[in-house]
Amino acid sequence: MSTPPDGLPAYRVLTGPDDAAFCHRVSEALALGYELHGGPAVTFNGERVIVAQALIWPRPA
């Protein structure tokens, strides 16, 4: 597939609390065919850890 499914953008940043739900969202994007773009960014908002992970749709070879 040369473009992401369901009209999704080629570049995405997923953010959220560092929990199982966030890990599932990233795993679902990887299963669709996205690739990680760099490492995650992590911060603490005073209550919990918040994570951001960029994903890209691979360009056709």
Q: What is the pLDDT of residues 42-59, one digit of tens each?
A: 999 999 999 999 999 998
Answer whether residue 1 shows pLDDT above 80.
no
Output the pLDDT for position 57: 97
Q: How far apart are CA 31 and CA 24, in angstroms?
A: 10
Spatial contact of 12 and 52, defined as CB atoms under 8 Å apart: no
10-32 tens-digit pLDDT = 999 999 999 999 999 999 999 99
Output the pLDDT for position 59: 86
Output the pLDDT for position 60: 79
Q: What is the dihedral of CA 18, 23, 25, 26, to 10 degrees?
A: 110
Answer whether residue 61 shows pLDDT above 80.
no
Owner of token pair 């056709």: 60
